Amino acid sequence: MAELLEAYRSFADEHCGIPERWLLDQSIGLASLYDVVAGLIAQRSSGPVLDLGTGYGPIAIRLAAMGLGVVGVDRDQRVLHGTEEIASRCLGHSARARFVTADATRLPLPDRAGFRLVTASLLLEHVADPGEVAAEAFRVLGPDGTAAFFDVDDGLGAEHPQTPALLRLGEALSAWQSGYGGDRRVGRKIPGLLADAGFGDVEVYVLPQARFSVTSPGSEERRLTAEHLGRAREGIVGTGLLSEERFDGLVAEYLHAPARQVCQIEGRVLAFGRKAGDAARRRGAQAALRRQASGARRSA
């Protein structure tokens, strides 16, 4: 997938100042993890795929590069213009990946819209009711279709040594995200969300990622983290989680802390659910009827 990474890097170099730069950096920074996730997903189905909250398409474009037909959906049209450009650099102008602006909680698609696979990567942490996404995935999938949801869970991480300023900022970020309906611990809830939406055969994996680095004042890593936190400044300060002075003070403390070694460990959850096919559903309904009938005979 080296060409794919190169396409993201060249696009990012040409679009340094865009507001969604963090999302591009994330698509690049998590490239190896996305390779693993896309590989595991591709083993489950040969598509066609609907990728919800596709962003710059790290999953959608990988699956298309593996030969699956993909439709990526996102509510942010500006991001999708970039995604189309990156996809055309990676895939040529092939028709294997299309990108459409839509809300993942209200898809403009009929029931059983012909998809064999619905994916969502790092979307559920941002939506107020992730159950709506799971329900939409179930609705548009065909019989025997698979849902694959991949998302964060901050409870699965560790950092050594901890940076007090970063820890405090992270807590404020997490509290702010919960306040607007997001959830940084949604990973552990995905299996239940799939089951509640009607999916069976739920399988759950934790994908760990660890990074060892020496961060120093002014390093790229610290700059990117500060930028990421800066995007939440207005929300965190506006909701009174931290005062302006405290927020800026913590960011400065983090940025200027002496150079040191850091080992960061993060775990994200990937879960699959299967929508029973018509034959399985008929067998289930018949079994339920038999159970009802034998219950009635016993009580007669």
Ligand X SMILES: C[S@@+](CC[C@H](N)C(=O)[O-])C[C@H]1O[C@@H](n2cnc3c(N)ncnc32)[C@H](O)[C@@H]1O
What DSSP designation does 93 have? Answer: S
The yes or no reply on residue 47 touching ligand X (CB under 6 A) is no
The yes or no reply on residue 126 touching ligand X (CB under 6 A) is yes
The yes or no reply on residue 85 touching ligand X (CB under 6 A) is no
Instruction: Tell the smallest beta-carbon distance from residue 150 to ligand X (Å).
Output: 7
Instruction: Tell the smallest beta-carbon distance from residue 120 to ligand X (Å).
Output: 7
The yes or no reply on residue 83 touching ligand X (CB under 6 A) is no
- On whether the CB atoms of residues 237 and 247 are closer than 8 A, the answer is yes
Q: Which is nearer to ligand X, 118 or 123 (CB)?
A: 123
Describe the chain by its helix, strand, coil percentages, rounded to 5: 50, 20, 25
The yes or no reply on residue 182 touching ligand X (CB under 6 A) is no
Instruction: Tell the smallest beta-carbon distance from residue 5 to ligand X (Å).
Output: 14
What DSSP designation does 275 have? Answer: P
Distance CA 34, CA 39 (A): 8
CB environment 257-293: b (16+ within 10 A), e (fewer)? beeeebeeebbbbbbbbbbbeeeeeeeeeeeeeeeee
Among 47, 48, 55, 187, binds ligand X (CB under 6 A): 55
Instruction: Tell the smallest beta-carbon distance from residue 208 to ligand X (Å).
Output: 17
**Which residues are bridge partners to 293 per DSSP?**
none
Using the contact rule CB under 6 A, the part of the chain among 75-83, 153-161, 178-186, 239-247 near ligand X is 75-83
- On whether the CB atoms of residues 270 and 205 are closer than 8 A, the answer is yes
What crossing angle do the helices spanning 220-230 and 244-256 adopt, rounded to 10°?
Answer: 170
The yes or no reply on residue 74 touching ligand X (CB under 6 A) is yes
Query: For ligand X, what does the binding mask look like between residues 91 and 120, x meaning CB under 6 A?
Result: ------------xxx---------------
The yes or no reply on residue 79 touching ligand X (CB under 6 A) is yes
- Which residues contribute to the site for ligand X (CB under 6 A)? 23, 26-27, 53-55, 58-59, 73-76, 79, 103-105, 121-123, 126-127
